[in-house]
A = this chain, B = another copy of it.
């Protein structure tokens, strides 16, 4: 038995997210179907991040066990000839049997892109959120920095009854403007449900002048979701990558 880790990139535009749903295509279902056909045994992957409908990834992670003899590094190549063009396995590698993509120390990086101009650009609209009114990216960057470090992020998540612990650590966060594109990049040890999109939605308020950068601290400390901004649209969000930190859990 071999345990295999896949690094998966996808354009989430046409998917109902990662996790298998009763209806609609999902990344998990595509992987299970094509892996099962390729390896001629029933495969059920375990994903690292269950991204939502419309969210993209450059480096999500899926793990599965197989009895197949195919060399592990060839699985990526063989899968890429079968998968739809909006999903591509970047790498397939063997990992220890104890490796679990969710229950180990990680560093995850997300990017949230905002196209800030009075007119939409069809060449970036799949991977960014369109925002008509001018935004001050420097103020957004200043506000974002109040989130650095270890905090209870209850203000910035959609509550899930089975996951009461809202303490996470943000290691790096920045907001930069390049021309008409504003990019929020955020790295941390884990993210709560909708956390990056709620942070983005709150930063949009700061950028538009409805909220002062310093108020980010107040919102964080209140642990009250109603004080933060809206959950920003999914198309701007991309899971850039997941780094596994414990040696024995590394791919």
Show the binding face of A for B, using Cβ within 8 Å: 9-11, 56, 58, 76, 80, 85-91, 119-123, 125-127, 238
Q: Assess the A120–B80 pair: CB atoms within 8 A.
A: yes
In the bound complex, do residue B85 and residue A122 qualify as a contact, i.e. CB atoms below 8 Å apart?
yes
Residues A90 and B76 in contact in the complex (CB < 8 Å), given A85-B125, A125-B85: no
In the assembled complex, which residues on chain B have CB atoms less than 8 Å from the CB atom of A91?
A: 119
The complex is assembled from copies of this chain, and their number is: 2
Which residues of B sit under 8 angstroms from A88, Cβ to Cβ?
A: 119-122
**Interchain CB contact under 8 A, B119 and A76:** yes
Contacts of A119 in B (CB 8 A): 76, 80, 88-91
For A125, the closest partner residue in chain B by CB is B85
Task: Report the separation of the CA atoms of residues A137 and B184 in the bound assembly, to the nearest whole angstrom.
Answer: 30
Given contacts A56-B123, A76-B119, A88-B121, 18 further A-B contacts (CB under 8 A): A9-B121, A9-B122, A10-B122, A11-B123, A58-B123, A80-B119, A85-B120, A85-B122, A86-B122, A87-B122, A88-B119, A88-B120, A89-B119, A90-B119, A90-B121, A91-B119, A123-B238, A126-B126
A87 to B9, CA, bound (A): 26
14 contacts between A and B (CB under 8 A): A10-B122, A11-B122, A11-B123, A11-B125, A80-B119, A80-B120, A85-B120, A85-B122, A85-B125, A86-B122, A87-B122, A88-B119, A89-B119, A126-B126
Contacts of A56 in B (CB 8 A): 123
Tell me the complex Cα distance, A86–B90, Å. 28
Contacts of A120 in B (CB 8 A): 80, 85, 88
A120 to chain B, nearest CB (A): 5
Provide the residues of chain B in CB contact with A125, threshold 8 Å. 11, 85
In Å, the complex CA distance between A80 and B121 comes to 11
Closest to A119 in B: B90
Determine the residue in chain B with the shortest Cβ distance to A58: B123
Most B CB contacts (10 A, CB to CB) among A89, A91, A120 go to A120
On chain B, the residues within 8 Å of A86 by CB distance are: 122
A88 and B115 CA atoms in complex are apart in Å by: 14
Q: Once bound together, how far apart are the Cα atoms of A87 and B122, in whole Å?
A: 6
